[in-house]
Structure 1
Amino acid sequence: MDRLFFDLRATHNPHRWFMPLTPDVCVGRPDEMFMFGGVGLASAIGAMERTTGRPLIWATAQYLSYAKPPSVVDLDVWVPAAGKYNSQARVIGHVGDKEIFTVNAALGARPSELSRQWLTMPKVPRPEDCEPGEHWRAAHYGLHSRMEVRVAKGHYGFDRQGAAEEDGRLLLWVRPRERFAIDSSMLAIIADHVPSGIGNALGQNAGGNSLDNTLRIRRIVPTEWVLCDLRILGVHGGFGHGAMYLFAQDGELLATASQSLIVRVRETVEDR
């Protein structure tokens, strides 16, 4: 098995996997940490790709509850339909009898020489020419400490206060500090940075909790950094909706993502 950002483990049953939760795949205050939503989707993708032997086409996660360390998340893979070139699969992630997330997906590849993209990467400075972005919690623990962020456009972290981005757009270069390969699972984790765009769009110390996360893979190519073209589409009634386009450094469109989330505005230092 390829080395993964999270600790996904096999069992004697090829349709059952499990993942011990440690703080390095979680977010939140030290006394209230919980699994990062992107890790739930990423672990389900890893389990489905290994169970079916096929690459991801798309996956969507619905987040139902929180999993906290040091619990163990069990992942049950169901493959209700498997054809010549693609499979339809589902994962239920649970801690004991408590369901944490459900992921539906399609996996596979068809023989074809067609490979085109019409969406182009925006012109931005190289990662090394962009300012480092520090997460608003500014913590040296948890998942965010394992991700390196460079800001190409917009505001990330506490500098977003009072600086609303009129087009609701945030451009970030992102890579794992431990240099994990950029595969479908790693893209699922990077794509879950959509809530980071809420504060940039509103000009407030704001973010949110994901209700869902959908990832659509176009083509995965080797790249060290991923450019995240993050767009907050709108907020209303306490909820927000956003999208992301993920590019390799050479401009190749790797994937697209979208999600809805609960908008949370943090007013005090204690909220950190």
Structure 2
Amino acid sequence: MAGMSQLEAATGHEDGVRPVFGVPRDLAAEKLLGLRVDPALGRGEVLVVPQLLNSIGALWGGVGLAAAIGLCEEVLGRRALWASVQYISPIRCGERLELSLHAGRRGRGLTQAAVRGTVEGRQTLLVTGTFGGRAGNGPTADLADDFGRDLQLATAPVGVRTPAQCPEYTVRPEVPGSAAGLLERVERRWATPTTPELAGTPGNARTMLWLRSRVPLPLSAVVLAVLADFAPVAIGHARGVPTYGVSLDNSIRLAHISPDPGAGDDSSSPWILLDVRVEALVRGVAQLYARMFGEDGRLLATAGQSTLMRHA
């Protein structure tokens, strides 16, 4: 890319100047993940500390996706619409995950991007995604709103109890002898099944739970990507026996979230309803689909993943 600056190569922005329409830095990227970003180089890094681990001692799957989203949003100056991660090798405690952004040519409203994650040169994950949109996501004020206002066609489940009415599921490592890791940082309340105990009887393949970060954070794509990775809890309830999962891939599509992830209530994080369906168990892999709603019924995101099943 002769004649192009490092920022131009990273972002696809022709003049290499960070756009003035950039979004505020996501507080969750720093406070929850510890993400450090070098916008000039299109790079970021996360030191994998115990608070970011899953129950088997590897990096929580949603953290890898969330960190890549945080990097892209800050460097590109555009909000995430969709992102997906493929995990290539496990990332352990004490390792430093290095992220490098590679973006396609910037369009008037959208940018497609890829993020490569490595640990000491070893490729660990690959993220692809789309960032931007027409309304309020970049230099698009001159574009006519051909499709009218945003619409929510999905509806929140009816009759779901409020978080205050649901039992709390205390932090319990899924694997005996393992650390709680990121589980300690998220409050969980079970909407259905009404009792989370597993008695050996298969369920109906649908689990709903309320989630919120114990670290006070406003709503953002980064927060949703982390919380969406609680979807594998539905596997054990579908099978009726303790089962934990190792994420092979995660994806998230963003719907309606707060217009400013840098602002919010400092006293607490918002509750999010994760409505999970186990769609298939295939050759030891669970295929999951989830919808994420706010307490007011807004659809925040849809998510999916393939999870390698393990006996607890």
TM-score normalised by structure 2 residue count: 0.79
Q: 1:212 aligns with which of 241, 244, 249?
A: 249
Q: Contact 1:136/1:156 (CA < 8 Å) preserved in 2? A: no
User: Deviations 1:61-114 (Å, cap 9, x if unpaired)?
Assistant: 001111112111100000122101110000001101111110000000203442
1:86 alignment partner in structure 2: 110
Mapped partners of 1:119, 1:160: distance in 2: 30
SS of 2:105's equivalent in the other structure is strand
Mapped partners of 1:6, 1:236: distance in 2: 32
2:213 alignment partner in structure 1: 176
1:234 alignment partner in structure 2: 280
Q: Contact 1:156/1:200 (CA < 8 Å) preserved in 2? A: no
CA separation of 1:201/1:136 partners in 2, compared to 1, >3 Å: closer, same or farther? farther
SS of 2:44's equivalent in the other structure is strand
CA separation of 1:209/1:161 partners in 2, compared to 1, >3 Å: closer, same or farther? farther
CA drift of 1:261 comes to 1.2
Q: Contact 2:47/2:94 (CA < 8 Å) preserved in 1? A: yes
Mapped partners of 1:80, 1:243: distance in 2: 29
User: Which sections of structure 2, spanning at least 5 residues, go unmatched?
Assistant: 1-24, 136-144, 259-263
SS of 1:185's equivalent in the other structure is helix
SS of 1:251's equivalent in the other structure is coil
Q: Contact 2:55/2:179 (CA < 8 Å) preserved in 1? A: no
Task: Report how many residues are paired.
Answer: 261
User: Deviations 1:209-246 (Å, cap 9, x if unpaired)?
Assistant: 11100100011037710000111011021111010000
Q: Contact 1:155/1:163 (CA < 8 Å) preserved in 2? A: no
CA drift of 1:3 comes to 2.1
CA separation of 1:147/1:185 partners in 2, compared to 1, >3 Å: closer, same or farther? same
2:164 alignment partner in structure 1: 128
Q: 1:10 aligns with which of 37, 47, 60?
A: 37
* Percent identity over paired residues: 31
15-24 vs 50-59, which moves further: 15-24
User: Deviations 1:128-169 (Å, cap 9, x if unpaired)?
Assistant: 110001344178741000000000002776x12314212x00
Mapped partners of 1:129, 1:43: distance in 2: 33
2:236 alignment partner in structure 1: 199
CA drift of 1:50 comes to 0.7
2:94 alignment partner in structure 1: 70
CA separation of 1:257/1:194 partners in 2, compared to 1, >3 Å: closer, same or farther? same
Alignment of 1:45-64 (within 5 A): 45-64=69-88
Alignment of 1:34-53 (within 5 A): 34-53=58-77
Task: Determine which structure has the larger strand proportion and give its number.
Answer: 1
60-69 vs 1-10, which moves further: 1-10
Q: Contact 1:226/1:249 (CA < 8 Å) preserved in 2? A: yes
2:12 alignment partner in structure 1: none
Structure (1 or 2) with the larger CA radius of gyration: 2
Q: Contact 2:33/2:52 (CA < 8 Å) preserved in 1? A: yes
Mapped partners of 2:124, 2:81: distance in 1: 23
CA drift of 1:193 comes to 1.1
User: Which sections of structure 1, spanning at least 5 residues, go unmatched?
Assistant: 267-272
Mapped partners of 2:129, 2:102: distance in 1: 10
2:193 alignment partner in structure 1: 154
RMSD: 1.8
1:251 alignment partner in structure 2: 297
Amino acid across the alignment from 1:165: G
